[in-house]
Amino acid sequence: MLRSPKNQIRISKNFLLFEFQCPCCKRVLLDFRLLDMLEILRKRIGDKPVIINSGYRCPKYNEEVGGVPGSYHLYGMACDIRVPGMEPGKLIQYAHDVGFFGLGLYQTFCHLDIRHKYTSWEG
């Protein structure tokens, strides 16, 4: 009998739970406001696939990857994403228009989060 991978559960039209799980412990914490905004973003960019590079991070994994203390990843309120064929600079413009308040622009991906005060940076 074949077994499906852990957290292979559809949680919205375009996302599965495992996409947001911590790579080290496979746990997931996800604020559904983040998920709703990602669905809006996907629709805004023409329904292109949004790849989640990093979703929830447990404290141990956050420290291992050099995440900042208090990172929104720790609370299921952040994700690092990319869209194949779209420059991160263009993607971040769409994310801003959708209403993400935490916007980090990196060379190959964007950090998006749902904090309550607008903050942007480049990494």
Structure confidence at residue 6 as a pLDDT band (50, 70, 90): confident
Query: Is 76 within 8 Å of 56 (Cβ atoms)?
Result: yes
- The domain spans of the chain are 17-122
CATH code, residues 17-122: 3.30.1380.10
Tell me the pTM.
Answer: 0.92
Residue 5: its pLDDT value, please?
A: 64
Task: Report the percent of the chain where pLDDT is more than 90.
Answer: 93
Residue 72: its pLDDT value, please?
A: 98
**pLDDT, tens only, 33-91:** 999 999 999 999 999 999 999 999 999 999 999 999 999 999 999 999 999 999 999 99
